[in-house]
Amino acid sequence: MATEFIKGAGAAIASKLVLSQQSPLKWAVRENPIEPPDTGWRFFALDDTDETLNDPANMQVVDYNAVCEIEPAVIGIYNLPVGSDLQIIQEGPGTPIRFLDNNTDEFLDPSTFR
């Protein structure tokens, strides 16, 4: 069971490449939730392709906290609104993770995360 970084966080859908850590987390998109406990968050790997994403077998419903365990930086984006479309940028090993808002082409300010 995942560490509970966010109490009662709910579910997300993540690429199995992210969950297996075969490829780093690269995109986080928040859609309208399907039904509770879905948060609407969808997580995709750097190496995901249209072909892999079109096969539902390559995606898995998980607790949001399971993704936080793999990449703790996503704890901060949990409360961002539906419609959020983020790219995870890390400029090198050991450098901080930054979130690029694909809708505005601007980096998010982590001080605004709640």
Per-residue pLDDT at 1:
62
Does 4 map to a domain?
no
User: Residue 66: which domain range?
Assistant: 11-112
Global pTM?
0.94
- 1 within a domain of the structure (yes/no): no
Q: Is 3 contained in some domain?
A: no
CA–centroid distance for 108 within its chain:
15
Over residues 52-86, the pLDDT tens digits come to 999 999 999 999 999 999 999 999 999 999 999 99
Query: pLDDT tens for residues 82-112?
Result: 999 999 999 888 888 999 999 999 999 988 8
Helix residue ranges per DSSP H, the chain: 16-19, 50-53, 64-70
On whether residue 32 sits in a domain, the answer given is yes
pLDDT score, position 28 = 99
Strand, helix or coil for residue 50? helix
Provide mean pLDDT across the span 20-41.
Answer: 97
For the chain, helix (H) and strand (E) counts, in that order, are 3, 7
The number of folded domains in the chain is 1
Look up residue 32 and give its two tokens. 């309208």
